[in-house]
Amino acid sequence: MLQIDWPGYVLAVLEALERAGYEAWAVGGCVRDALLGRVPHDWDVCTLATPPQMRRALEGFRLVDTGEKHGTLTAVAGGEPVEITTFRADGAYTDHRRPDGVSFVRSLREDLARRDFTVNAMACHPARGLADYFGGREDLRWGLIRCVGEADERFNEDGLRLLRALRFAARFRFAIEPETAEALRRNRGLLRFIARERVLSELRGMLLAPGAAEILAAYPEVIAAAVPQLRTEGDAWRRALAAVEKAPADFSVRLALLTDSRNAADLLSGLKTDCETRDDVLALTRRRGDTPPRDAPGARRLLFALGEERARKLCGLWRAEGREGADEAAEQIEAALARQDCHTLAQLQIGGRQLTAMGLRGPAVGETLRELLFAVMDGRIENEESALLDAAKRLSEKK
């Protein structure tokens, strides 16, 4: 029998549906993850009940409409959401992405047949055990991503599945079964139908996965079809992949490794990333060629220029690339932070008010504060009020 650790709230949902006479199963990612011995991050249920029937059967639960038209309601059980979807088959696909309509069906098997990969097309029940019509368990054992049914057809229905295949393969370090792999390469042109946001989110999942470098190396033409701004060949690409493998699991760092300061802006607008990722990647690619700081003043200047988070990311990038002095730079940065070394104007023990009291006006105030900060960061003056005031006087006399 299967060793599955069923959360009580999932059992409660299954029980309530079945008590009302509707077959119900846990399905998809949660079954896959449980069989892999991983803790599922969420549990999905499929059932014979239609949404109005679910509402009656689940009276005691809070229900949220997450897509009633498509047969989906979310029950909040014990504070946890469980997505419940009526057994369904997808209608025709004309846009290579979304079915034109869905139809409810009477059997679990038909519902499982519309799912993307065999490892995602299993259902499980606490009493009836595993429902595995497409060899998902065997593929899980061998570590294979394989389309349910005919791969060409399945990719043509929904081009997003190409990227999902790569993402799951990277996440579980699985291989892609040969026929599925060939169909993937053959159908890469479909990726132009995929919305940028979806490409971005799949790319993020893929890049952060443990097997990212392997998958990017094995399917460069598919990656290039999804993200035309990436140059997925040549020595630079191979070096980038070697670095991705060693990089921290941070999207900005890994994305920065795949591009350079000339092409980063183009890549970022092509992908429509959020502003934070964009600023991260631009800063990282711009600074990548700098010499890693070897001493405390250098570390403080880098912290001043980039801030704590980004300075750490840059060190992570340098280390992943095997840059000389990268480890030392990271140590210097951490030591400066641990000592709470001054590296921001806010930490300076003097402010604009004191300088104005000394008679400084306008831009001279900001300029002087900056000069003082640099003098402190370089260790030329103490970060202490009277020392700073003296230095400020000397500076203003020179002006």
Residues forming contacts to ligand ATP in the complex (CB under 6 A) are 28-29, 44, 115-116, 120-121, 158, 160-161
Residue owning tokens 């139908």: 193
Q: Which is nearer to Mg ion, 29 or 292 (CB)?
A: 29
Q: Which among ligand ATP, Mg ion, none contacts residue 216 (Cβ within 5 to 8 A by kind)? A: none
Q: Which is nearer to ligand ATP, 158 or 250 (CB)?
A: 158
Q: How many CA atoms lie within 13 A of 22 on its CB side?
A: 27
Q: Which residue is nearest to Mg ion (CB)?
A: 29
Cβ at position 164, least distance to ligand ATP in Å: 6
Q: Which among Mg ion, ligand ATP, none contacts residue 115 (Cβ within 5 to 8 A by kind)? A: ligand ATP
d(CA 128, CA 135): 17
- Interface with Mg ion in residues 13-42 (CB under 5 A): 29
Tokens of 334: 């951490």
Q: Which is nearer to Mg ion, 85 or 187 (CB)?
A: 85
d(CA 272, CA 97): 19
d(CA 149, CA 279): 43
Cβ at position 76, least distance to ligand ATP in Å: 17
Q: Which among Mg ion, ligand ATP, none contacts residue 298 (Cβ within 5 to 8 A by kind)? A: none
- Please give the C-alpha separations between residue 328 and each of 140, 215, 318, 390, in angstroms, as whole numbers: 42, 31, 11, 34
Q: Which among ligand ATP, Mg ion, none contacts residue 160 (Cβ within 5 to 8 A by kind)? A: ligand ATP
d(CA 136, CA 155): 18
Q: Which among ligand ATP, Mg ion, none contacts residue 57 (Cβ within 5 to 8 A by kind)? A: none
Task: Please say whether the beta carbons of 93 and 99 come within 8 A.
Answer: yes
Q: Which is nearer to Mg ion, 29 or 316 (CB)?
A: 29
Cβ at position 130, least distance to Mg ion in Å: 18
d(CA 130, CA 218): 33
Work out whether 71 is an interface residue with Mg ion (CB under 5 A).
no
Q: Which is nearer to ligand ATP, 28 or 316 (CB)?
A: 28
Q: Which among Mg ion, ligand ATP, none contacts residue 341 (Cβ within 5 to 8 A by kind)? A: none
Cβ at position 41, least distance to ligand ATP in Å: 6
Cβ at position 124, least distance to ligand ATP in Å: 12
Q: Which is nearer to ligand ATP, 204 or 231 (CB)?
A: 204
Q: 399: buried, middle or exposed (CB in 10 Å: 19+, 13-18, 0-12)?
A: exposed
- Please give the C-alpha separations between residue 174 and each of 141, 170, 279, in angstroms, as whole numbers: 10, 7, 33
Q: Which among ligand ATP, Mg ion, none contacts residue 88 (Cβ within 5 to 8 A by kind)? A: none
Q: 324: buried, middle or exposed (CB in 10 Å: 19+, 13-18, 0-12)?
A: exposed
Q: Which helix (H) or strand (E) holds 89?
A: strand 88-90
Which residues contribute to the site for Mg ion (CB under 5 A)? Answer: 29
